[in-house]
């Protein structure tokens, strides 16, 4: 997998390559940091900063585009029924689990990355 990611960004500056690799859902920070350090030979502070920034870029687009997409697709009856079902189910299941573990369990689950 490392070779595929390196070949993807071999013709651009290493700093930009680290940012792009950290944006790809398959690799994220787990791939960008080792490639930035080992393959590109960049300083660890620069690699860490660029990888974290690159990892946050898709989140910004998702947060700003998700609501308009939701409002647009909600006008279609099939999507409206799906969203209604999904949100009711999610609220019910989340409430039951949240009651048991609280905010701490949710933060713990989201904050710790799982190994690939």
Cα separation, 55 vs 32, in Å, equals: 9
Do residues 2 and 35 lie in contact, with contact meaning Cβ atoms separated by under 8 Å?
yes
The answer to the question of residue 11 being in a domain is yes
Is 89's pLDDT higher than 70? yes
The answer to the question of residue 67 being in a domain is no
Statement to judge: residues 41 and 15 lie in one domain = yes
Statement to judge: residues 89 and 44 lie in one domain = no
Statement to judge: residues 57 and 16 lie in one domain = yes
Q: Is the pTM of this model over 0.85?
A: no
SS3 call for 60 = helix
DSSP structure class, residue 13: -
The answer to the question of residue 45 being in a domain is yes
Do residues 15 and 42 lie in contact, with contact meaning Cβ atoms separated by under 8 Å?
yes
- pLDDT for the residue 114: 64
The answer to the question of residue 87 being in a domain is yes
pLDDT (tens digit per residue) in 8-30: 777 889 899 889 888 888 878 88
Last residue of a domain, one of 14, 30, 61: 61
Cα separation, 70 vs 68, in Å, equals: 5
% of the chain at pLDDT higher than 90: 33
- Structural domain including 22 reads 1-61
The answer to the question of residue 66 being in a domain is no
The answer to the question of residue 68 being in a domain is no
Statement to judge: residues 9 and 51 lie in one domain = yes
| Assigned token pair, 50 | 């660029």
Statement to judge: residues 85 and 114 lie in one domain = yes
Cα separation, 30 vs 28, in Å, equals: 6
Compute the average pLDDT of residues 67-73: 91
**Residue (of 66, 55, 62, 10) closest to 29 by Cα position:** 55
Number of folded domains in the chain?
2
Statement to judge: residues 1 and 55 lie in one domain = yes
Is 116's pLDDT higher than 60? no
| Assigned token pair, 96 | 């039951």
């Amino acid at each position: 997998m490392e070779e595929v990611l390196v070949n993807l960004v071999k013709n651009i500056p290493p700093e930009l390559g680290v940012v792009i690799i950290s944006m790809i859902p398959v690799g994220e920070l787990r791939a960008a940091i080792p490639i930035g350090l080992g393959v590109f030979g960049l300083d660890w502070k620069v690699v860490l900063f660029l990888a974290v920034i690159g990892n946050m870029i898709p989140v910004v687009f998702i947060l700003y585009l998700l609501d308009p997409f939701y409002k647009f697709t909600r006008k279609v009856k099939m999507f409206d029924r799906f969203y209604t079902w999904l949100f009711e189910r999610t609220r019910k299941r989340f409430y039951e689990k949240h009651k048991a573990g609280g905010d701490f369990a949710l933060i713990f689950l989201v904050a710790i990355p799982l190994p690939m």
